[in-house]
A and B are shown apart, each in its own frame.
Chain A
Amino acid sequence: MSVKLLYFAWVRERIGKGEEIVEPPAGVATVADLMTWLAGRGEEYAFAFENPKVIRAAIDRSHVKANAAIAGASEIAFFPPMTGG
């Protein structure tokens, strides 16, 4: 599957870009799997995802937990805990 990824705040800064399109292999089924796979793509990704527990995710603009399935997603965003308001 091909999916658009979005990165925000220091996740974006560490990776060096705000968005990209990726094609994760078949075994990558959940958000957690996706973070592990991304971390293996290079130093900047490993740095961004060094502590997956603090990274939050949204699939198609809704918050999801790390065990959420990514099948069918068009857009997945990764970001630190929010500080709006």
Chain B
Amino acid sequence: MPATIRLQRDDFDAAAEAAALSRGRTDIGAVVTFTGICRASDEGKPVAALTLEHYPGMAQAEIARHVEEAETRWKLMGVTVIHRYGRLVPGDNIVLVATAASHRGDAFAAAEFLMDYLKTRAPFWKREERPDGAAWVDAKAADDTAAERWTKPRQAAE
């Protein structure tokens, strides 16, 4: 299954990446695209800019591990993950997850799974520039909860 994983400073074109996933194929019935965008406020406080630090050697490997995991769980025909790093301002794209499958269930589920894992296990750290100074963003418990739901064992059929 073709998987594209890129870490980059530059912006990406979500529509072009999604189109690339299904180009030349007639067996793909579903392409799901998620774009994460930098907001101008966080918990009510204004954010002037967001800087993403990352662990280069590990980020690529960790994202690849989760793409492989997604492939074992769902029938996917292509995955693209692009994660930016460096200084971003409100309105800027941060991350792209695009998944292709025959049917929408697999494409939707895999995209959500990958985002939940990107939020909690991909080695990136956000530093916000606010009016009163810069501060590291705290990891959210809600993100851990979201990621945990993918590890619950399946209920046995009654």
**Chain A residues proximal to chain B, CB less than 8 Å:** 6, 8-10, 58, 61-63, 75, 77, 79-85
Given known contacts A9-B125, A83-B125, A85-B124, what 9 new A-B pairs fall within 8 Å (CB)? A10-B136, A62-B61, A77-B55, A82-B119, A84-B52, A84-B83, A84-B123, A85-B95, A85-B119
Give the dominant DSSP class at B's interface: mixed
Taking a contact as CB atoms under 8 Å apart, the answer to whether B55 and A84 are in contact is: no
User: Which residues on B are within 8 Å of A, measured CB to CB?
Assistant: 36, 52-55, 57-59, 61-62, 83, 94-95, 115, 118-127, 136-139, 143
17 A-B pairs with C-beta separation under 8 A? A8-B53, A58-B123, A61-B57, A61-B61, A62-B62, A77-B123, A79-B123, A79-B125, A82-B121, A82-B125, A83-B137, A83-B138, A84-B83, A84-B126, A85-B36, A85-B94, A85-B118
Which residues of A are found within 8 Å of B55, using beta-carbon distances?
Answer: 6, 8, 58, 61, 77, 79
CB-based nearest A residue for B128? A83
Are A8 and B139 in contact, CB atoms less than 8 angstroms apart? no
Closest CB in chain B relative to A19 CB, distance in Å: 11
**Complex alpha-carbon distance, A62 and B63, angstroms:** 11
CB <8 Å contact, B139 and A9 = no
